[in-house]
């Protein structure tokens, strides 16, 4: 199997592992209730989480505008790809942490961040091996100039017009919708917790 078509075990298991993680995350979000929910700094944590969710939604739209339909056909180095080599993963990370903060659970936030960084690090490395095989020296130069995940903050110059696939953009809108819908769903979840609508276990943070 060639380098271009070979997928790592991390990539093959990404969807089922993500599904299991989502089920665990939802269970923790629903049944664990931090002591002091909706009071003091917990409210500030919730608002920060909502801000992260909005940033994640807008950031993924921004990234898709540059990479949509061109992932393996063209090396993208502009827009968000000038800040980090993996902006889609970065904004997904921001969204996950944002949702965890919004449910006002510090342990869930820390655990979610740790899981994402630990699991997706080898996934990203495997994808970059394929990009290196596809684009050779241009990708090597790009890799040397732009960080893999944590962004460098620079002023991005205008690179001209972009052609965006309407089909891919519509699909992306559907995906990022859930980042924004999470704000309403989390508010409903909080109301249910405060109303004692189901059994809950209190946690200190």
The predicted pLDDT at position 142 comes to 93
Give the single-character DSSP code of 77: -
pLDDT band of 7, cuts 50, 70, 90: low
pTM exceeds 0.85, yes or no:
yes
* Mean pLDDT for the stretch of residues 106-112: 93
45, 83, 89, 96, 137 from 117: Cα distances, Å: 21, 18, 10, 11, 27
pLDDT band of 1, cuts 50, 70, 90: very low
């Amino acid at each position: 199997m060639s380098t271009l078509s070979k997928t790592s075990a991390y990539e093959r298991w990404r969807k089922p592992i993500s599904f299991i993680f989502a089920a665990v995350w939802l269970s923790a979000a629903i049944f664990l209730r931090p002591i002091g929910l909706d009071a003091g700094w917990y409210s500030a944590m919730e608002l920060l989480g909502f801000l992260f969710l909005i940033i994640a939604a807008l950031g993924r739209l921004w990234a898709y505008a540059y990479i949509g339909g061109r992932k393996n056909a063209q090396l993208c180095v502009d827009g968000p790809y000038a800040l980090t080599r993996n902006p889609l993963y970065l904004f997904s990370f921001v969204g996950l942490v944002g949702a965890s903060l919004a449910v006002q659970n510090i342990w869930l936030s820390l655990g979610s961040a740790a899981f994402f960084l630990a699991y997706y690090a080898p996934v990203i490395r495997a994808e970059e091996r394929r990009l290196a095989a596809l684009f050779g020296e241009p990708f090597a130069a790009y890799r040397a100039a732009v960080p893999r995940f944590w962004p460098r903050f620079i002023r991005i110059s205008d690179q001209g017009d972009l052609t965006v696939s309407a089909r891919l953009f519509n699909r992306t809108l559907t995906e990022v919708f859930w980042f924004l819908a999470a704000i309403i769903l989390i508010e409903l979840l909080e109301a249910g917790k405060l109303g004692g609508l189901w059994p809950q276990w209190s946690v200190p943070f």
